[in-house]
Amino acid sequence: MRTRSFPALVPLLVLALLATPAGATTVTDPDDVAGKLDLATVTGTKTDATAPLKIRITTYENWAARLLRESGRNRVIVLFNVDTDPETEYRGAIVYAGGDLVMRIRGEGSSFEPLLVRHPNGHTLRTVVPGGSPPNPDGRVRIAVRSRLYDDAECADGCRDRAPNGGWVLVP
């Protein structure tokens, strides 16, 4: 499997000036599983057909980034459905590696360079997938998020969530 590069990023300052609430889609998932990775909301924002895809994920509880350490089994995974069939084409696994949270996207025989993921408070994850890339092709994209958590208490056998429980967040 070869590692692919994303196209050059448009300077972030320009994106910030152009960004508006338009093009954002949010899905709220219920407080439906035990453990710290119970997903609460997924927001996808794409201001036009060729724009970067901004993804924001929140959970009901606060947790430290190292909960997703690479050597463990806990994960938050973004699913990308980039066409009209119901199947996932790309999966972005969010892990804590080398002191940073990153998302590693794979699928369709490719793996991509890691994307930085921000964890500005205990319960939010934010990342941006460059426009015009296989997991964020021009036009609409469908995403969903899965989580899985193992701990010594209520999630000894694994706690798993999906947001939304069925279907997709259609962006924009």
What sign results for the dihedral spanned by CA atoms 10, 119, 144, 25?
negative
Q: Report the chain's terminal Cα–Cα distance, integer Å.
A: 31
Q: How far apart are CA 119 and CA 50, in angstroms?
A: 26
Closest to Ca ion by CB, 85 vs 152, is: 85
Q: Where are the beta strands (DSSP E) in 46-136?
A: 53-59, 75-81, 90-97, 100-107, 110-112, 115-117, 124-129
Closest separation in Å from C-beta 31 to Ca ion:
6
Question: Does the footprint of Ca ion cover residue 70 (CB under 5 A)?
Answer: no
Contacts with Ca ion in 16-55 (CB under 5 A)?
A: 29, 32, 38-39
Q: How far apart are CA 151 and CA 157, in angstroms?
A: 8
Give the DSSP H/E element, type plus range, for residue 162. strand 159-163
Closest to Ca ion by CB, 102 vs 171, is: 171
Binding window for Ca ion (CB under 5 A); candidates: 81-89, 90-98, 128-136, 146-154: 81-89
Closest to Ca ion by CB, 26 vs 165, is: 165
Q: Which of 48, 61, 70, 83 binds Ca ion (CB under 5 A)?
A: 83
Binding window for Ca ion (CB under 5 A); candidates: 17-25, 79-87, 98-106, 131-139: 79-87
Closest to Ca ion by CB, 38 vs 96, is: 38
Q: How far apart are CA 149 and CA 35, in angstroms?
A: 7
Residues near Ca ion (CB under 5 A): 29, 32, 38-39, 81, 83, 85, 87, 161, 165
